[in-house]
Structures are given as C-alpha cells and as structure tokens.
C-alpha cells in the first residue's frame, strides 16, 4: 500500500473532478498536471469516471496519483480497484467499505464532519479523514475549532474549499485540501475554457508553494 499520508503531506492539494460525464477529464487532467497538480480525484457521480481514470493514466506521466471518489459501496470499491485507482475517497464513513479497500492494499479516505465522526473514522486506521462539506459550516474557522482538540488526526477539507482559500486551510493544520468547482469552473463542459483553468490551477499551486516557503 502506498503511503498516502506522506504523499498528501508533500503535494498538499487534490483536484476533484465532478461533472455529468467524463468527456473532458483527459484534457482537463493534462492542464492540471502541467500547472503542477500531482493528485487528481475522479468522482463516481460522473458517468464514465473509471474509464476516464484509465485514459488519464495512459496520457500522463507516472508521478501523478489518481483516485476515485464518492465510493460508498463494495461494488464501487471493486470497480475502482479494477480501474487501478491509487486511492479511494468517500463523503461518508462505512467500515465495511474501508476494510475491503484496505484488504486490497489501496488506501481509503473516508468522509466526516463533526468531531465524533472524524475521530471514529480516524480510529479505523485510515491515512486521513476528509472533512466535507466544510465551506457551508464555517470554513477555515471551523477547521481550527474541529482539529484543536485532536491535532494528531490528519484532515483533508473539501466541499467549499476554493482556489483562493486553500492555502488558509493548510495554514490552519489541514494535511491537504481538495478543490473542485472553484478550480474546474466550466472546463469540464464542452467548450469550457482550459486557459482559465490553467490560470486557476497555477494560482492554487503557487499559493501552496508560498505557504511552504513562509
């Protein structure tokens, strides 16, 4: 099993791709990679997500880490593993689903929101806990209050994290952040602006780099 916590700690930001279908995932992933992203998550709510992961795997260099998100069932775990996902992510905590992934040697990041949920998920032996949706419940301030009593728990906030405030979550103790709509904009739709995506992606990566250098 890869050391996902170590990888997240070094790469800091995960691009989360969610759309009605995965028709634009390959060109969008190329733009993200060129801008400096090395972790990309494809959500199963997107039609064709696993096939797109396989296509991106062939299109990009080997140093990119590709994950499948919104994994809630054992069948979805099997499908993601058949697609050779490097890691799995969920919005929820399901011990049975996590165990299935771990038995196959693939790390799983479950989702939680409250302190009790976060601690329960962490105690299941996962590399980190996804805290989502964090934007609507208080943003960076909520993360500070959530993690202060349990600083040993690595958390990855998503859901409302933006290109502009991602570095703030990291400054407040997040091991990494997941950025979705604020990053992708209209790029996942037919004719979407890939140049604008590239600019947003560079902004997100430079924000993380500036924080690391501070």
Active site residues: 41, 130
Integer angstrom CA distances of residue 24 from 47, 89, 189, 192: 11, 21, 7, 9
d(CA 135, CA 177): 12
CB atoms under 10 Å from CB of 198, counted, come to: 16
SS3 category, 151: coil
**3-class secondary-structure state, position 107:** coil
Q: Which of 151, 79, 84, 83 lies closest to 122 in space, CA to CA?
A: 151
Q: Coil, strand or helix: which one is 201?
A: helix
How far apart CA 200 and CA 182 sit, in angstroms, is: 8
Say how far apart CA 174 and CA 140 lie, in whole Å: 10
Q: What does the alpha-carbon distance between residue 34 and residue 188 come to, in Å, rounded to a whole number?
A: 17
């Amino acid at each position: 099993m890869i050391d996902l916590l170590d990888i997240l700690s070094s790469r800091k930001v995960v691009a989360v791709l969610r759309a009605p279908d995965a028709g634009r995932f390959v060109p969008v992933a190329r733009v993200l990679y060129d801008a400096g992203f090395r972790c990309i998550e494809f959500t199963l709510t997107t039609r064709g997500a696993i096939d797109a992961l396989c296509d991106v795997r062939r299109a990009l260099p080997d140093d990119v880490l590709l994950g499948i998100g919104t994994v809630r069932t054992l069948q979805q775990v099997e499908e993601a593993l058949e697609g050779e996902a490097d890691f799995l992510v969920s919005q929820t905590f399901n011990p049975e689903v996590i165990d299935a992934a771990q038995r196959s040697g693939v790390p799983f990041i479950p989702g939680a929101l409250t302190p009790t949920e976060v601690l329960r998920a962490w105690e299941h032996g996962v590399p980190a806990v996804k805290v989502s949706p964090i934007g609507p419940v208080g943003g960076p301030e909520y993360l500070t209050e959530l993690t202060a009593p349990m600083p040993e728990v690595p958390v990855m906030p998503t859901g409302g994290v933006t290109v502009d405030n991602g570095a703030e979550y990291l400054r407040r103790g997040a091991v990494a952040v997941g950025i979705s709509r604020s990053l992708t904009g209209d790029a996942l739709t037919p004719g979407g602006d890939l140049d604008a995506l590239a600019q947003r992606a560079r902004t997100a990566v430079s924000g993380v780099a500036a924080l690391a250098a501070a």
